Chains A and B, each alone.
Chain A
Amino acid sequence: MMPGLLSAVTFLPAVGALALVLVPRRLASVHRAAGLLVTLVTFALSVPLWTRFDGDSADFQFEEVARWLPTLGVSYHIGVDGISLLLVLLTTLLTPLALGSAWHAIEDRTKEFVITVLLLETGMLGVFVSLDLFLFFVFWEAMLIPMYLIIGVWGGSNRVYAAVKFVLYTMVGSALMLVAILALYYRHGGATGIYTFDLPTLARFVLPPGMAQDLMFLAFALAFAIKVPLFPFHTWLPDAHVEAPTAGSVILAGVLLKMGTYGFLRFCLPLFPDATYDFAPWIFALAVIGIVYGALVSTVQPDLKKLVAYSSVSHLGFVMLGIFTLNQQGVVGGVIQMINHGLSTGALFLLVGMIYERRHTRLIADFGGLWAVIPAFSAVFLVVSLSSLGLPGLNGFVGEFLVLVGAFQVNPWLAALATTGIIFAAVYLLWMYQRVIFGEVTHEENRGLTDLSLREWAVLLPLLVLIVWIGVYPSAFTGKTEATISALIAQVQSKASVALLR
């Protein structure tokens, strides 16, 4: 293992941001290039995490521990397991792509934009690698502000409303989580005499089932459910997505939403196993409602970006469904679906952004017959749409299939209902695709559109490769994560049964 590698990956973007503060703002292209360089180096550094990660082990790897606030029991403890590894790589991959997509889109205050994105990347990576509740909370909250600025400063016409709504929703959720973190800390300390925020230590502690555990679970769950977003906490999402600039939408959909589902896996399940079992049916039901509701609302959207935003509600519903099956197939499917959604929806937002840059509209009705004008764009759009709707052979199928296999073992009726989400996905994506791409060119403005540029190809190509790779050979990815997930499920089951035996 390489000591310090994980810290280097996590903090390199922030260091780059601090360095860029000193570069004068009139050198906008220097900022763009340097930002891209920093994120690319970060990605390059994160590749050894992948290659050297031992997929047969369920332990945390690349762990680093340092004292931070010893009197409180707070330590700088980071590490990755099979779940967070995938998300770390997703983050380091999507951030340079997002910056690349913003090359011409962000002309105003480029310096601030690049710095904000870099700080955001450190915040997101920090959330995924933290193994200390205090450290996690610090990153969780700190990451809010850059995203708030990205939406609020570089967003669309209604950006301020969307940005404030995003922050307030998230803050209310995380406020109660803070109380629950403190309550857990003192409960563990009172029972064992060890006052610590260390996650692996706390995860070994068997909390007695009952009111206290339920409330703590709900406090954590609220914070994560808002972030996912789980129906009915999703209302901030369409606003944030529609107003955010393309780069912001890509990061928001690709990475930020995963923080919620990741939070359930990392904290709710191992810390509060009894409450997890108690509330699983409810969350299961909400996930299915989200799948169907998101798909139905997507179908009727006149705006491309809004359509993709609501489809996120539906897709994240699959992730939640998979996680709360609490069986191997379901959880593995959920984790893979997290990655898939990051890739497919990230790519969809990129494509919508590219067409918006050309036409300055996102209304489906303003397009039509694009295949004749920009065939390469249309072809990529087709592949990504098919991946998003779960065509076998592409990535989306793998995750959704596994999730549904898991879900059928738990509740066949709800699983059957969830399956309709896949059908609706085909409806809204293909119908949208048909209206935008096929037919005659209905608007004269569309005749002069230019096809994908080299830069745009460079941004899209990595995503296309992964979309096909996961679709054809998923075990390259599931292999890294299966050991972790079976250990997690075993841990939840054994802790829940220990509590039952008391």
Chain B
Amino acid sequence: MSPEIVFPGVAIGGLLPALIVLAAAGLVLLLDLAPPRDTKTHLGGIALAGIVAALLVAVTRWGTEQRAFRDMVLLDNYALFFDLVICYAAALVLMLSMDYLGRTGGESGEYYSLVLFATAGMMLMVSAGDLIVVFLSLELMSLSLYVLSGLFKTRLASGEASLKYFLLGAFASSFLLYGIALIYGATGSTSLDRIAASPAAKNADPLVLAGLGLMLVGFGFKISAVPFHMWAPDVYQGAPTTITSFIATGSKAAAFAALIRVLVVALRGAQADWSALLWGIAAVTMTLGNVVALAQSNLKRMLAYSSIAHGGYMLMGLVAGGAPGAGAILFYLLAYTFTTVGAFGAIGLCARAGEEAVEVVDYAGMARRHPVLAATLALFLLSLVGIPPLAGFVAKFYLFGSAVRAGYLWLTVIAVLNSAIAAYYYLRVIVYMYMREPEGEGLSVASSLAGGLALSIALIGLVLLGLMPAPFADLAQAAVAPLLR
């Protein structure tokens, strides 16, 4: 007698935020065919509306927990928190894109729909309760971003970025898949809960550890942890600046979300192993990122290395473990998203001699001609340094605090010394903006309403998180609670 096939109930509610984004993506694709054909800004507006709708739905769902498709998709506080971060990043990226694309000639309907597809992938990824969903959503996100990186078809760097990202990304995905297969082999399931309950995972069976190692390669690629970071500088530099900021924030947040959930929920039994491993990865990642960033003269490349370093800081939270550690990562991601989107957004507004201004020297004397934007960019950079009372400082404080609490004093010492190193290259940009005079043609700043609005929102977030972090930290703590039951 053949076993009865049980069809799981369809619970659309668990997918709702992601579905809204997907629907908006479809709508944008359809309307792309309709007139007007010469401008696509209205499509950006529709995309933005979709993101905002998803954001609002996510906000109303806060505090509820929904499991759909036999626990393959979980819409709990944890997923909702990340939905907020991702939607927030996507919204700012879209606002900055509308004007940026017009200026750089890359405006197209596909752009907006691909951003939405990537967003939907990220939102699914943070809700994944099953390794298969992790993989599928990761691919949805990645494929969209591969294409977006190569948006500037005529620029060599953009094509190089896209191809590099795609090839290395495909390689990393296969590692992830291989790891999933090994874990399935060892535990008999791909569901996170069932993996956690299996004896093999509880006893940290060698096969599980092998699977864990391979999965870490895949995730390490997405969060650009050393030694899987090689792609990041080239892609960050070559991709359109708006997409760079999306890769640096949204994709990193989603990858961290999935990584934390997989490690903390499914592989809790092997915590001693992955914690020790991540200790080393964190230390190497932050050090290499910061030290190499010192030598960069291209701002986007410098921010790429800085983003690698920030990934290293965040790994500290995983090493520290427990609710304080995970909560600190969530808060850090929130602050980091505000700051990084803002920094890239400010850079995206600047041009010199008809080209995007990406070299540090392009910013010489900027404070004299464009004092407001210079001050804004300076504040974003100071937050990245971790100067109080800005968001970056409080985020670091929570993160380092969680590491000290768990007894990882030396890792914290490495991290704080890294912050001091990092101060040098962030401040160098401020040196150029404020303390040097421009040479040759000066910097020109595009006046963009949506862009200015996006930067203002990011700036308000930056100061708010710095001065009044308590409600957001509580939110982050409430978000990690479902993981640690």
Residues of A in contact with B (beta carbons under 8 Å apart): 25, 68-72, 109, 112, 134, 137-139, 141-142, 144-145, 148-149, 152-153, 159-160, 163-164, 167-168, 171-172, 175-176, 178-179, 182-183, 185-186
Contacts and interface: CB of A to CB of B under 8 A. Distances in A.
Given A71-B470, A153-B435, A182 B387 contact: no
Interface string B414-456: 0011011001100110010011100000000000000000000
A164 B431 contact: yes
Please name the 5 residue pairs, one residue from A and one from B, whose CB atoms are nearest each other, closest first.
A175-B416, A138-B388, A182-B404, A171-B420, A152-B435
Nearest to B372: A21
Interface residues of B, number: 32
B12 interface: no
A141 B388 contact: yes
B423 to A, nearest CB: 5
B365 to A, nearest CB: 11
Contacts of B420: 168, 171-172, 175
B469 A69 contact: yes
26 contacts: A72-B470, A72-B473, A137-B388, A138-B388, A141-B387, A149-B434, A152-B431, A160-B431, A160-B435, A163-B431, A164-B427, A164-B428, A164-B431, A167-B427, A168-B420, A168-B423, A168-B424, A171-B420, A175-B416, A175-B417, A178-B416, A179-B404, A179-B413, A182-B401, A182-B412, A185-B404
A159 B435 contact: yes
B65 interface: no
Given A71-B473, A138-B389, 4 more contacts: A72-B473, A137-B388, A149-B434, A182-B400
B273 interface: no
A197 B434 CA distance: 36
A152 B435 CA distance: 6
A248 to B, nearest CB: 14
A70 B474 CA distance: 11
Contact of A164 (B397, B412, B424, B470): B424
A178 B400 contact: yes
A163 B435 CA distance: 10
A243 to B, nearest CB: 11
Contact of B404 (A134, A141, A164, A186): A186
Given A141-B388, A179-B413, A183-B404, A167 B423 contact: yes
B470 A70 contact: yes
B382 interface: yes
A179 B413 CA distance: 7
Given A178-B416, A182-B412, A183-B404, A152 B434 contact: yes
B202 to A, nearest CB: 30
Contacts of A72: 401, 470, 473
Nearest to B466: A138
A175 B414 CA distance: 10
Question: Interface centre among A71, A175, A183, by most B CB within 10 Å?
Answer: A175
A153 B470 CA distance: 35
A142 B386 CA distance: 10
B400 A138 contact: no
A141 B387 CA distance: 6
Contacts of A182: 400-401, 404-405, 412
A109 B368 CA distance: 8
A167 B430 CA distance: 13
B56 interface: no
Contacts of A163: 431, 435
A185 B412 CA distance: 15
Nearest to B419: A175
A71 B474 contact: yes
B409 interface: yes
**Chain B CB within 10 A, most for which of A134, A148, A152, A182:** A182
Contacts of B367: 112
B393 interface: yes
Given A160-B431, A163-B435, A168-B420, A176 B413 contact: yes
B293 to A, nearest CB: 15
Nearest to A155: B435
B431 A145 contact: no
Contact of A176 (B405, B416, B470): B416
Given A138-B393, A179-B413, A179-B416, A153 B434 contact: yes
A277 to B, nearest CB: 24
A86 B417 CA distance: 34
Nearest to B436: A160
B435 A186 contact: no
Contacts of A153: 434-435
A137 B419 CA distance: 15
Given A171-B420, A176-B413, A144 B387 contact: yes
Contacts of B473: 69, 71-72
Contact of A141 (B371, B393, B434, B435): B393
A171 B473 CA distance: 26
A145 B382 contact: yes
A72 B477 CA distance: 13
A447 B221 CA distance: 72
Nearest to A190: B405
A109 B375 CA distance: 14
Nearest to B400: A182
Contacts of A112: 367, 371
Contacts of B435: 152-153, 159-160, 163
Nearest to A69: B470
Interface in B459-474: 469-470, 473-474
Contacts of A69: 469-470, 473
A186 B405 contact: yes
A435 to B, nearest CB: 34
Contact of B412 (A109, A152, A167, A179): A179
A142 B470 contact: no
Given A138-B389, A172-B417, A148 B400 contact: no
A159 B437 CA distance: 13
A142 B388 contact: yes
A137 B388 CA distance: 8
Nearest to B469: A69
A14 to B, nearest CB: 11
B414 to A, nearest CB: 10
Contacts of A179: 400, 404, 409, 412-413, 416
A153 B378 CA distance: 14
Contacts of A168: 420, 423-424
A172 B436 CA distance: 25
Contacts of A172: 417, 420
A144 B428 CA distance: 15
Identify the interface centre among B367, B393, B416: most chain A CB within 10 Å of its CB: B416
Contacts of A139: 388
A172 B427 CA distance: 14
A152 to B, nearest CB: 5
Interface string B366-394: 01100100000000001000011100010
